[in-house]
Structure 1
Amino acid sequence: MKKSVIAIDGYSSTGKSSISKIIAEKLGLVHLDTGALYRGVTWFALMNCLDEEGKIDLNKLFSSFSRIDLEFRNNQGELILFLNQDDISKSIRTNEVSENVSFIAKQKEVRDFLLRYQRSLADNGGIIMDGRDIGTVVLPGADYKFFMTASIEERTKRRYQELISLGIEADEKQVMENLMIRDKIDSEREIAPLKQADDAIVIDNTNLTKRETIDEILSYISKI
């Protein structure tokens, strides 16, 4: 029997990835953090495609797609992202990447580049994929769809704590500003904007613990 395909979309720092990872373990599914893929492309662009002013040259990036080999590898149950054989799982979480990833992710060329790869991973089922347009664009036929949200204050606190835990210097005010800018760019972009699918179940976890959020999502899956 083919295992389910689950799509989890929502705002940054709502816990999509960490929660999806735990649910995947509980249900015996593969977890894919699609946001990491866009961060990987952004990291590549920052390292290889800057113009004389230090800004990302999109044309140079688009012409370099053949040089980008992104691969998730299983490390004791956790999928680690590699770019051209190098582990970039920590590098893609820096402030510099966070400040540029929405700009890169809104480019149609980038989304088309990653779309086929994401869909191919879900062809055989048994996957939970999180991002911003999974239920609306990448996997519109997913068996279950969820949309996660939380207050900007709570998301700022979570993002700040994540950066500190990774040993990355951070300022809470700057973290909040970055999140608000990303929300605006992601929601207003012309190509595949951050949007709740019509048939998605909304999970507001502002006042929920990670465990409570997981239990709520699992309760819907068991009901359907």
Structure 2
Amino acid sequence: MSYRLLLLLLVMSPLIGCGPSDPYPIPAKLPTEPLVEKKDGQEYEFPPTVDFDGATWIRVKEDPTDNVPAKAYVYASNDRDDYLFYMLYKPNELKSHGFPIEKQLMLAKLDPKTKKLFLDGPTELSLGGGMLLKAQFANQQKVGQEELYYADGNLLFRGHTIKDRLHGECTYFYKDGKPLIQGKFSGGHLLKASGFDPDGTETEFANKTDLMQFLAERLNK
């Protein structure tokens, strides 16, 4: 689907050159207060610490990102050798699954040969309406299972990606767990898909546009 391509913008920011062996050392004086930054008339607040992927991350410094509509800070942990990127997005600028992206947490590792950071590990995106999207990066590409949750914690979407593209079976769900859309993809290309009304009436889709329109209408977006 076309909305899958939006993450191509996100993965560009951590690919930066690094001089020292530790490009983001934890400061001697640890931050204790939230930090408020401004960009394009918007305010973005970054907490002093973040709990993610079983570790506590400490705010280190701003990421020099200028190719996405977001403000970003890098966080480091005493217990880890990777880094956490904390990104806050300009309202309604980018979307995933039809919902605006508000915040993203993603892990990056340092390549000892190139001295560049690459995305590797889990990522979470907070979307409008309280939605939460969980995915996984490996060596700079989104791979494996992807899940999107309603604000109440119920599963909205489950699918798989290979090299940033949907691949295999994917399903959208109503809040009661019944299937909303079932589809099959190959390398990002839609092979077949059907939508289901709450009463079970099935509608086959001719293309991705029909699929996304059906989804938007059923989710009242």
Q: TM-score, normalised by structure 1?
A: 0.29
Structure with bigger RCO (C-alpha 8 Å, 6+ apart): 1
Whose strand proportion is higher, 1 or 2? 2
Whose helix proportion is higher, 1 or 2? 1
